[in-house]
Amino acid sequence: MEAAATLAAASIAAGTPLLLAAIGILVHERTGVVNLGIEGMMLTAAIVAFAVAHDSGSHLLGFAAGALAGMLLAAVFAFFALVLHANQYATGLAIALLGTGASAFIGLPYSGQGLPARGGDGIAVLRDLPLLGPVLFGHDLLVYVALLLVAAVAWMLFRTRAGLVLRAVGESPESAHAIGIPVRAVRLAALIFGGACAGLAGAYLATVYTPLWAENMTAGRGWIALALVVFATWRPLRVLIGAYLFGGVTMLQLYLQGLGVQAPSQLMSMAPYVATIVVLALIARNPRWIRLNMPASLGKPFNPNA
């Protein structure tokens, strides 16, 4: 039971960056915008957050800086995709490449350096409870922020007028524009929110999960988060479950290595990515189910002056 509790706690920690990134992706894809630049945004936010936390000694400033870095790259994407009507897929890939290269350059002076010590994570008394304490109450603040974001997004999408407007823009931007909804403003707000979430995901990776900087440290998590939203059929609670499942697969391969399971470490490290491919392959067998849940205007540009 103790080993299971430890694995569950580690799975939640490992799934948090995926959850943060994916919940932001879900919001802007609900408006019909595909941003493939999440990986680059996470990497840029990771090095910015690490540098600020390292130089200031404040992890909270690092989180804020990471979120701002993600929002800035999201704004760059929005300028090209929403204002200049560039192809969303090509623009997203350009942002991914830009973020990857920029993070490697910015991070050169910080390679091999650590961060100042932090206090204990979680809630002081409850985290010491047997079994459930580490699982439920022993995590960093951003773990609970991610859970609150899932609840807030689920409530906003399906219980508020703002959510109705957001989903209407994703289903038919032309109809939404015809009744006076500012389509580009809604999409911009969703993209900025998604950028902030990607920034927090990168900041969590660099300052909490592995408190150091290493080039390409996201290791494809941005791409997995994009796949996770499809796997969850654009539903917040399914994103939550999927993120922790992928986090569990990541930690399970490390746990099995610790138990001395005789398997090449390279094969074990492939497990999360193989799981992603398998899930997407299974989903692709029923394209009608995808079409029923996917925002109708996903990836399609909208020009109100056309």
39 Cβ contact list (under 8 Å, min separation 6)? 96, 99, 100, 218, 220, 221, 222, 223
* Of 69-73, 231-235, 301-305, minimum mean pLDDT range: 301-305
Q: What CATH number does the domain located at 2-293 have?
A: 1.10.3470
Q: How many residues does the chain have?
A: 306
SS3 37: coil
**Taking all residues of the chain, what is their mean pLDDT, rounded to a whole number?**
87
The whole-number pLDDT of residue 136 equals: 75
Summarize pLDDT for 157-169 with one digit per residue, the tens.
999 999 999 999 9
Strands (E) across the chain are located at none
* Of 5-19, 186-200, 258-272, minimum mean pLDDT range: 258-272
Both structure tokens of 52: 């600020």
Q: What sign results for the dihedral spanned by CA atoms 112, 115, 119, 121? A: negative
More confident residue, 254 or 93: 93
More confident residue, 181 or 117: 181
> In whole angstroms, what is the distance from residue 162 CA to residue 223 CA?
28
Quote the crossing angle between the two packed helices 2-30 and 236-258, to the nearest 10°.
140
201 Cβ contact list (under 8 Å, min separation 6)? 16, 17, 18, 20, 21, 24, 42, 45, 221, 225
